[in-house]
Amino acid sequence: MSGHRDIVIAGGGMVGISLALQLARLMPDETSICLVEGFPFPKVSADGRPEYHPSFDARSTALSYSTRLIYEQMQVWEDLQQWLCPIESIHVSSRGRFGSTLMLAGDYGWPALGYVVENAWLGNTLIQALYRQGRVEVRSPARVVNASPSGDGVRLRLEGDVEDEIEASLLLVADGANSGLRDALGVAVEEKPYRQHALIANIATAQPHRGCAYERFTDEGPLALLPLLPAPGGENRSALVWTLPPERAEHLQACPEDEFLRELQQRYGYRLGRLQQVGDRHSYPLALVQSAEQVRQGVVVMGNAAHALHPVAGQGYNLALRDVAELAAVLSEGVAAGVAPGDLAMLQRYQKRQLPDQERTIGFSDRVPSLFMHSDPVLGLARDMALAGLDILPPLKREFVRYAAGVAELGERASG
């Protein structure tokens, strides 16, 4: 047994590191924080490129305006900016239908509606911030393989280079949607398979994206092209997230490049001119995964372990960051008042505060894809009118954009 930690974070992906950074910033200096990650943290090569880490994969992440505000508080945003492509506009359309809408950051006085970053660069920036702050103890490579109640906290068994047991007042489970630790704790999971896969790739186009993110709904599922920064060999780049039936995704992942580009062009159209090149293609099964419990005495389930969403509108990671900000705020308030970090009543207070945001965001990402895939002609006309109506009714459009950017939730908490 190697002693006691006030807070242990199991999982060193983007959510786990963000948790560590926010807690290190807000918690009293005497609060001990330990981050446990099963894979060795990547070093940075001589050319500045991060090495491989499974949490920082080939995907890109859309960061909402609310996430910018949170990362500014963490003092991460300034270092992250060089890797961000601002989303200056969002074009939403339905393939084969007349309904569409265009949202412009300038209409709301914002510098951008959001930002797109490749996960490798986001992960690298977070790791460098973790190295710099020097307060959080990092155990890597190591994994929390078991947790059991112990007094008011939990006893943890770690496996890695050295097996160990530690006591913790609070365990934060942030090891992903397929969380082995969540299962070991006996936390039930509700899973709704979408019977779809997300096909991910970077696309080079003939015309520049000019900071526009395209969300196109088709009868197979949503298709998004998100703006990326230029890179060697690809001046005009966008990140593709193409939702497809599993067999179609498998075929398009493996087919020749010219066939892939032809199929994508037919589905997407020519708003970016001719599609010229596709990078490595990856495919992921999609499901709504929700933890039946998010808090218990001495334990909080976070990130994808708590809720993994459909990628439409890119809300999953941004919701997780709002969870991080709210949990850290509640813990800092409680500990300053003399409450132990794992106190159940305090953790339930966090869940009560954050639950409306979670329910609203999860409900939106769950309903929208099926709504646009439905073939009923009357429903199709209603969808078209709703999209067109956003342009006709500015107040409705403004409120829609505020919720999509996550700032409505932050505003409600600030005034509550």
The secondary structure element, H or E, covering residue 9 is strand 4-10
Structural domain includes residue 35 = yes
pLDDT at 52: 56
Q: What is the DSSP string of 53-85?
A: -TTS-S-EEEEEHHHHHHHHHTT-HHHHGGG-E
Amino acid at 23: L
Residue 91 · residue 30 · CB < 8 Å: no
DSSP state string for 330-347: HHHHHHHTT--TT-HHHH
Query: Does residue 282 fall inside a structural domain?
Result: no
Q: Which residue has the higher pLDDT, 215 or 42?
A: 215
Is residue 307 in a domain?
yes
Which CATH number characterizes residue 366's domain? 3.50.50.60
- Average pLDDT value for residue range 149-167: 88
Q: For residues 299, 409, 116 and 9, what is the CA-based torsion angle, rounded to 10 degrees? A: -10
Distance, CA of 286 to CA of 298 (rounded, Å):
31
Determine the average pLDDT of the residues in 25-54: 78
pLDDT value for 315? 86
Domain count, the chain: 1
> What residues contact 33, with CB distance under 8 A and at least 6 apart?
5, 6, 7, 8, 9, 20, 23, 24, 27, 135, 136, 137
Residue range 190-219: mean pLDDT, rounded:
92
Structure confidence at residue 81 (pLDDT)? 94
Domain annotation covers residue 245? no
- Containing structural domain, residue 178: 4-191+287-415
In a domain, 390, yes or no: yes
Determine, yes or no, domain membership for 242. Answer: no
Within-domain flag for 381: yes
Considering the chain, what is the average pLDDT of its residues? 85
Tally the residues of the chain.
Answer: 416
Q: Indicate the SS3 state at residue 24.
A: helix
Say yes or no to pLDDT of 54 above 70.
no
* pLDDT per residue as tens digits for the range 333-376: 999 999 999 999 999 999 999 999 999 889 888 877 665 444 44
pLDDT digit string, tens, across residues 71-105: 999 999 999 999 999 999 988 877 544 456 788 88
Q: What pTM, to 2 d.p., does this model score?
A: 0.87
Flag whether 152 is in a domain: yes
